[in-house]
A and B are shown apart, each in its own frame.
Chain A
Amino acid sequence: MSMTRREAAAALAAFVLPLEAQGPAEPPKLGFFTPAGAKLVEIFANVIIPPDEYPGAGDAGAAYYIDKQMQGPLKHKLEEWRTGLFTFNSVAKHQFQNRSFLLLKPEEQKEFIDGIAQGQVPALRPIFDLMYDLTLQGYFGSPEHGGNWKQASWSMMKIEDVMGVNDHAGHGAKGVAK
């Protein structure tokens, strides 16, 4: 053990995510989402965390996070997700003279989502809560899970230096004296 605490910390900070885990150059292929499904999630995620000088959650790949996880650890949520989105679309159509959610103006889309958040459509509360939570997971979790492209949230919070030490894939720990 020859490294000092400071040296070791510096060595660790030098580890960054491998390029492929930082976020794709172009959007990856979708698994179970249709492009329209992905678009809807993107819009929703951008209402939860809208773009400003930093990308919104939708722009940073929240839909790709959900798409990936719904085929993996969150498989058991698929049914809830599908029925929830179906209801979401039907209620939106009903409320906006048969226009589908995707075709609404951005202000209308936001108005609709705000309405659910304020409890105006109790039937949509469960799907809102699920989409909300998954959006935060996708945006704040590690890019390796499909969201948080280019460490969007971490660079906004100025914590890439500490969070970037992500050795989940098995790299990183090796550089430190045992």
Chain B
Amino acid sequence: MKLDPVDAVVVGAGAGGGVVAYVLAKAGLRVVLLERGRQIPFEESGHDELRSQRTTVLGNAFGPDSEQVRMINSPLTGKFYKVRANENAYNNVAACVGGGTASYGAMAWRFHPKDFQMLSTYGLVAGSTLEDWPITYEELEPYYEKAEYEIGVSGKAGSNPFDGPRKKGYPMPPLPFNKEATLLAGAARKKGWHPFPIPMLINSVERDGRAGCIACPHCVGFGCEVDAKNGTQNTVVARAVKTGNCTLLTEAVAKEVLTNEQGKATGVAYFHKGELVEQPARVVVVACSATETPRLLLNSKSKMHPKGLGNHNDWLGRNLQGHAYSGAYGLFEEEVFDGTGPAARVALCDFNHGNKDVVGGSMLANEFIRMPYLFARGVRPARVPRYGLEFKKWVREGYKRTAGVKGPVQEMPLWENRVEVDEAVKDQWGIPVAAITTRRHPMDAETGKFMAERAAEWLKAAGAVETWLSVAGLGGTGGQHQAGTCRMGKDAKTSVTDSYGRLHSVDNVYVADGSLHVTNGGFNPSLTIMALGFRVGERIARDWRRRA
């Protein structure tokens, strides 16, 4: 079935795609927003740890369903094997309206100015494709501000001395410190470090007709029962639809971007209720996440684009990054757990850059509330056995007395880390699945170890009687902070898109998600993805007005 043409099709209603759809609809373009998943109301996802976004052993309440598969290159054997969507190695973000933002932890980080200049700051790192972004922090700053105001961030401007310059404060005051944060903040100050309240995409006060946070214990990995957590699903996507210019179509699975004889995009083919539908459009925006975007583009082959759309130079799908999460746990004499969410409340940026002998670093923050199964699986000092009475006693006595401090440690991008498609393995719609290969650069483990030691130092200063490190291994990466597979760049030979997310090789196809990140910063990525979404969207709208 072929539909009437629209101005723009946006594929993926996640962090980036939701923003672009909104900007375009507001500018007056007729937009169709395709999302493979559904709206997931809180009543459906609930507070079930074993089906949450973080622990998907019984499935993922936010999709995709467990029957979806990918081929993953095993770090152990070097061979590809089939992985189901609810298994860790799958590299899932989510499949629902809002994408990852429907259930994320909602930390709202701006990258550090140096995160955009990694090559200039550190020089070449052997084996890595480390590079500067084609844009600076200053160029992205106005769009960070838009993201903070349009989607809603609570925080305290000026509280982090390492922050890049900002023109405006946050639209909402920060959430209050919990017990852990109060303890850690005091200790950090004594050490001469600079703790501050984490900026959050969470309403600290009622805003936009939705409630303020009630500090429930289930935040990261869950939907919010009072809708105080701001994702794209309850802000920009809802507003895009309200303009009357944007049609949100759920359970619509994009198969390929269609092109004509000249190689220009003419629209998108997608499956909806078992039927293959063609939606013609003048502009196509792909925002399916850093693993699904390259998959869709690689699956969009034609005579003019034999290796996939935008893949003129074999860079598409490469440089897949995540974060080399590292940190430490500390056991305290007294209980530090107070049961109030979101729990991750205090951070410091003293170690994002300028660390001796390592490249980059990360912010450090205390952890979100750990659910019981996750705690029992992974949090215990080496002296405690993994089962038996002593283990049970540890869980009982350690749970409320343990605090964790971790950081999303910046990874060195690798050319070999990539998303391909496996023509022989197809999903239920007959679309070839993603085949993913990732390893970490040895530097990531060094930086991780450095950060873990700082985390332990912080916990000890706060009174921990015992600390133990958790350092990222050299195996696979990507995961919930996946990024980098459609690198932006000025040089069409060594990047996939220009600095506005437009494919170098097709002038009416844009990318607007984590794929654009040249490097992934020492921070959670959403706010940067959203800011880029505003910038990409405004560029498309500007060109549109010029043409009209």
Contacts and interface: CB of A to CB of B under 8 A. Distances in A.
B211 A178 contact: yes
Contact of A142 (B50, B59, B84, B375): B50
A26 B395 CA distance: 27
Contact of A69 (B58, B213, B388, B399): B58
B315 to A, nearest CB: 36
Contacts of B215: 5, 9
B212 interface: yes
Contact of A144 (B48, B214, B387, B391): B48
A50 B211 CA distance: 44
Which applies to chain B's interface (DSSP): helix, strand, loop or mixed? loop
B46 A167 contact: yes
Nearest to B390: A50
B225 A173 contact: yes
Given A159-B372, A167-B47, A177 B387 contact: no
A162 B339 contact: yes
Interface residues of A, number: 48
B376 A176 contact: no
Contact of A176 (B214, B339, B375, B392): B214
Given A141-B49, A163-B372, A169-B46, A158 B400 contact: yes
Contact of B214 (A12, A52, A76, A166): A12
B135 interface: no
Interface in A52-71: 52, 54, 69
Nearest to B396: A156
B28 interface: no
B80 interface: no
A142 B48 contact: yes
B400 A49 contact: no
Given A141-B50, A169-B46, A9 B214 contact: yes
A12 to B, nearest CB: 6
A40 B229 CA distance: 45
Given A69-B58, A136-B377, A140-B373, A165 B42 contact: no
Contacts of B211: 1, 177-178
B226 interface: yes
Contacts of A144: 48
Contacts of B388: 47-48, 50
B74 interface: no
Nearest to B49: A141
17 contacts: A5-B212, A5-B214, A47-B387, A48-B388, A49-B392, A52-B393, A76-B84, A132-B386, A140-B372, A140-B373, A157-B399, A163-B372, A168-B48, A172-B46, A177-B226, A178-B210, A178-B211
